[in-house]
Each structure stands twice: as structure tokens, then as C-alpha cells.
A and B are shown apart, each in its own frame.
Chain A
Amino acid sequence: MAIWINKNKHIMMRISGGLILTAFIVASLNLTAVVDSLLVTATLIASVPIVYHAYQSARMRTFSIELLVTIAVVGALIIGEYVESSVVTFLFLFGSYLEAKTLKKTRASIEQLIDMVPKTATVKKGERTEEVSIDSLEKHDEILVYSGGSIPVDGYIKKGEASVNEASITGESMPVEKQEGDYVYSGTMIDVGYIHLVAEKTGEDSTFQKIIQLVEEAQDQQSKTEKFLNRFSQVYTPLIALLSLIVYLITRDLHLSITFLVIACPGALVIGAPVSNVAGIGNGAKHGVLLKGGDVVDRLSQVDTFVFDKTGTLTRGEPEVTEVVSLTEDDWKEWFKDVASIEQASEHHLGRSIVEYAHQHDLKLTSEVQSVQVTKGKGIAASVYEIEYTIGNRKLLEDIQIHLDARTDQLAQEQEALGKTVIFISQSSQIVGLIMIEDPVREGVKPILEKLKQNGVKQFVMLTGDHERTAQKIANELAIDQVYAELLPEDKLTYIEQLKEDNKGVLMAGDGINDAPALAASDIGLAMGITGTDVAIETADVVLMADRYDHLLHAYRLAKQIVKNRWQNIAIALVTVAFLLVGVLYGVIHLASGMFVHEASVIIVIMNAMRLRQFKKK
């Protein structure tokens, strides 16, 4: 029954509309009886779905707008206002038909994304290949994808190479070259090439599906404004219904009171705000920007302080040793190979650059490293063949009470002022050398930061464990307003808290791996790039699928635009409500015109929200 009604709703709408039209033509012939019977028939036909929905909701004990319309229509039939009754029912159906059509468009961004995943995959089984449904794929399955094909699972390339378009995930349409051993994502497409890959994550576990789920949930997550409007409308509708009853009891004017019932639906008010979010979040998803819900959009639009972790976010995160200075008689290689051997065990990104440098100079490393002791934010101590080494920054030197002579101190300061990180090496409490490491600033960051300022950001803050002078150099290069240097990892949280107190909103941008606590503590935690995949995607409020600054700018501008759009819709809805109330009281608005204005306002807010789909990256 229900499905039959749903399927035939549009047909009933058309018949009813046709009857009304005929009635108007016949009306010129002065055949009142024919006209009336046509209009009553039109009313009855169009009422079927309305009454049915009213009945369904009443059974669930929820107050529905269909119930109000039903009462109004019955009232109109009683007082013989057949034109009104037929037009109201027709407009109600026509309005919801248009609503459904336009709503579908605001949701289309996600559907287009979902269509990127192929339905079937070519699986290699021994020497044969077989075409199977992607639902039956499992981890370790070997899959072949050819030129122009979509990748069905996340996995590693076993053989072959290809240029892959990852736009569905990162929003970046420049193809990326992938070869043996590289990881590829489901939903991405092979431009040119051929790959043979081993499935790692399939179906709902794949990154792409996780993104889709996230976006779908985000689109349903309501902002505070929406929650308030929902509560408002839950009160508004019964209140107007009550008002119409009171109006009837006082004036005994059935026509006036049923008009109130028709305008009691706060349609544009309820749909206006969510539809902006849906369209806006959909736009983000298409450009590689995940905004996790209306609330996040709100907070992001209000952020005025951007905090960056230096390494990997503002800099390339690929430090390189630029110079080694030996302060002993021995050749630098004598102690450097031991230092590199110690760093082999460390996970630190600076350590890796030291090991890399040793490999470049064909130094032979040993695994005879003993009593390793790591001090977070300072350095590492260990011994190699009975020689005790401490490797680290100035803080570590202070801890072990080593004083630099004036000349060495001068040298270190000069290097730091050039933006280099200086690592001090000591052997049994005797300083033996310095290693200078450089992590260059990422390209294209500065112009984006300038644009962010034009869009309302008040200040940029950089947090780093690096030395003050090194940090200052980088900050100057990028026009960062405030620098907090020489921080231990736990200090970063304290600064975030402090900044939150002093500013309207604080956004922390990081790679989502090392800075997860800081991301969680700020008003908006923004993870750049999906390298840290699961953790980053889950803890951050905003995820930029590609590690790109222009996407950061888009996220910020988009959030502001969504909020603006939302307020426009709320304004349209409120003006409509006020207009209708006044109109009814002054007797200008009747049943049919009230319904028309109401439905028109709903369509207008949806169309307005749809503009967000076109909002472009700058």
C-alpha cells in the first residue's frame, strides 16, 4: 500500500493538476456543477498520499504537517472552497516533488563519488583470470587493473606501473606515477598503464569507503543553529495549530483558521540549514576536503588563529645533513660512523638524515650499540665499542653540563640563524663535532598564508621543538606571526590551551601522526594528507586528503561560505514565516496562496544551497 502510494504519488499529482486546469477552462462556460465536481475529484485524488502519510504519522504519535493539511482540506471542502482545497493539495504534492528533485541534486556530489568504485574486478587465480563482484574480494587477492579502469581495493602493486588519477580521494586530478611496491587506493583510476596488485583492504575497510561513510555521517550531523531551529519548529507547528483553533473559537471563521493550518509548516526553516551543509560538505568531499559535520563547519568558519607544527607541515619534513664540523684532530668520519650507527636504532626524522648521510659517504655502520637512552625533545645517548656518545641539542648539553667554547657557540649560532638545526656530538663529556641539518620550507606555502589572512585569519603560530633561531628564520621566511620554539612534545598542548583562551578559535594543522593530542585539543584539528590514514581521519575534525596548502585555503573559505549560505536560508525562511503570518491576519493570504508561498520558499532555500556545489577553489 505505502509503496504503491509512493510510486504513484506523481501520477496522482499530474491527474489532479490536469483536473484543476480543466476546471478552470470549463469555468468560463458557467457550468458550476461540472467545475465543482472536477475540483472535488482533483482534491480527493491529490489527498490520497497526504491523508495516508497523516494517518501513518498519527499512528506513530508524531505531529505531521500532512495532518494539518488534511484538516485544512476537510475544512475547505466543508465550506465549499473547492478551488482552494484542490490547489492546496496539488501544490503540496507538486512542492514535495520539486523538493525531492532539487534535494537529490544537492546530494549528487557524494553519489558521483560512490560511482567511482567499479562493481566488478578482474582477479588472477593461478594462470587464469576471472571477473568477480567486488563484494567477494578478500585480502591477498591478486587483482589486475588496466588503462582506464578503476581500482577496486586498497593494496600494493606487485607488478607493473601506471599513472593513477587519485582525484576521487585527494581532489587532485594531476595523475600520480605509481610503481611496484606503491600503495594504491580503491576508487582511483588508472590513466595510462597496467598494474597487478595485492589486495590489502577491501569493501567497507577501504580508505575510500571510510571517507564516504564519514561524509554521509558528517552531512547528517547538525550544527547548533540547526538543532535550535529543529526545536523551534517542533514548538512552532503545534503552536500555530493551537492558534488556528483559538482563532476559530473567537471568530467562528473556518476559512481563516484553516489558512493558519496551512502556513504552520516551517518547511524552509527546517530544511534551509541542513541543505546548506549537505551541499557544502559535498563540495568539500569533491575537492579532497573532509569537513566532519555542521558543527565543525561552524567552528572552522570562526577560527582566527592557525597553529602549525613546523616539521613536515611548514617544512618538507625531509631533513638533510648540509655540513659536518669536526672539532677534534681526527677525521669527522671517525665519530660520524658511530653516531650514524646509534641513530640507526632511533625513529627520529633527524636521525634518519644522519644515517642517510653516512650511506652517501659509504661509511661502515655497526650494530654494536649499547645502553641506548632517548630523551624526548633533547636527543639520544649510547655507547659504541665502549665510547660514550651523547647526540642532541643544547638542552641535552646543559643536562650533561657541557659548556661550549665561544668559537663553537658562535659557529652554531650562525648556522641556526640560517635556519639550520645544529646537533651537538660529545664523546665522554667532550664535544667532538657539530652536524648541521636543514629541512627546507615547503614551496607555495607563503602565498596561501597571505590569502588566508585576506580571508580573515588574524595570526599564524608555529610550534616546534627546534632551536629558537632556527625556528625564527623559517618563521620570517613565511611571515609567521608567533613562534614558540624549543618545545617538548607535551608543551605543545599547553600552548594550544593558552591560545584557545586568548583567541576566538584555534586551528591546529599537522600530519595527524605525532601531533594527534594537539589536534584533539584545538578547536579544529586539521590533518594534512592521508599518510597517517586511520588515526588521522578518525581524530581530526577536518581532513585534507592531499597534503596541499591550496586545499587548506579551500576548506577555510568553504566553511565561511557554508555558514553565510546557511544564514541566508534562515533569513529567507524567517521572512517567509513573518510574511505569511501578517498576510493571513490581513486577509491577503488564503489557503492556496499560503501554500504557494510556503512551497516557493522551500524551493528557494534549496536552490540557494545548491550554489554551494559550484563554489570554486581559488
Chain B
Amino acid sequence: MEQTFQLEQLSCPSCRVKIEKGLRKIEGVDSADVLFNASKVKVNFDEGKTSKDTLKNAIEKLGFEVK
């Protein structure tokens, strides 16, 4: 399933790597792509293995607020 999270304004291009790497490490995540300029993350994940809330928490743990 695909889920898009709207984050607070992203300003450092290195955040992209941080968020993508951090999410891809989670089991059940097939792909995670940051749309830097739109400050969004698109995540494809297996609903059986992880959930929207887990992902949201992971992003917030990385230091980015999810709107």
C-alpha cells in the first residue's frame, strides 16, 4: 500500500537521505521516496508487516514532524 506523509518544511537536502534510509530499514517497507521540495514522503509498504502509525513514529523519531 502506498502512503504519502506531509512533513513540516524540509530545508536541508541531507534530510532526504536521512528519512529515506531510516524508513527503508523498517521491515515491510518496500520503498521510501522523499519529495524534497514538496516536503512529502511517499512510502510503499506491506500492511501485514508494518503500519501507518509505525511509519509516522519512525519519521518523527528521525526529527521531522508529520502534519
Binding site for B on A (CB under 8 A): 2-3, 5-6, 52-53, 56-57, 60-62, 64-65, 96, 99-100, 103-104, 107, 110, 216-217, 219-220, 270-271, 274, 278
What class of interface size applies to chain B in its complex with A?
A: 20 to 34
Interface residues of B in 3-44 (CB under 8 A from A): 8-9, 11-14, 17-18, 21-22, 35-38, 40
Residues of B contacting A216 in the complex (Cβ-Cβ under 8 angstroms): 35, 37-38, 40
Looking at B18, B21, B22, B37, which has the most chain A CB atoms within 10 Å of its CB?
B37
The answer for the CA separation of A103 and B8 in the assembled complex, in Å, is 13
Query: Nearest Cβ distance between residue A169 and chain B, in whole angstroms?
Result: 19
- Determine whether the beta carbon of B18 is less than 8 Å from that of A60: yes
B60 at the interface (CB under 8 A from A): yes
A6-B65, A216-B37, A216-B40 known; A270-B13 Cβ under 8 A:
yes
Known contacts A60-B18, A96-B11, A103-B9, A3 near B60 by CB under 8 Å: yes
> Is the Cβ of B11 less than 8 Å from the Cβ of A99?
yes
Contacts of A5 in B (CB 8 A): 63
Q: Can you list 25 contacts pairing A with B, beta carbon distance less than 8 Å?
A: A2-B60, A2-B61, A2-B64, A3-B65, A5-B63, A6-B8, A6-B63, A6-B65, A53-B63, A56-B18, A56-B62, A60-B22, A61-B21, A62-B18, A64-B14, A96-B11, A96-B12, A100-B9, A100-B11, A103-B9, A107-B37, A220-B36, A270-B13, A271-B13, A278-B37
Which residue of chain B has its CB nearest to the CB of A204? Answer: B4
Residue of B nearest to A102 (CB): B11
A278 to B37, CA, bound (A): 7
Cα A611 to Cα B18 with chains together (Å): 31
Residue of B nearest to A104 (CB): B9
B37 to chain A, nearest CB (A): 4
Chain A neighbourhood of B65, CB < 8 A: 3, 6
What's the Cα separation between A387 and B7 when bound, in Å?
A: 70
Task: State the Cβ distance, A3 to closest chain B Cβ, in Å.
Answer: 6
With A2-B62, A2-B64, A62-B17 as contacts: A274 and B37 at CB distance below 8 Å: yes
Whether A60 and B17, one on each chain, are in contact in the complex, defined by CB atoms closer than 8 angstroms, is: yes
B63 near A56 (CB under 8 angstroms)?
Answer: yes
Q: How far is the CB of B66 from chain A (nearest CB, A)?
A: 10
Which residues from chain B contact A96 at a C-beta distance below 8 Å? 11-12
Chain A: which residue is nearest B16 at the CB level? A220
**Given A110-B38, A216-B35: A62 touches B14 (CB 8 Å cut-off):** yes
Other contacts beyond A216-B37, A220-B37, A278-B37: 20, CB < 8 A: A3-B60, A3-B63, A3-B65, A5-B63, A6-B63, A57-B14, A57-B18, A61-B21, A62-B14, A62-B18, A65-B14, A96-B11, A100-B9, A103-B11, A107-B38, A217-B35, A219-B38, A220-B36, A270-B13, A274-B36
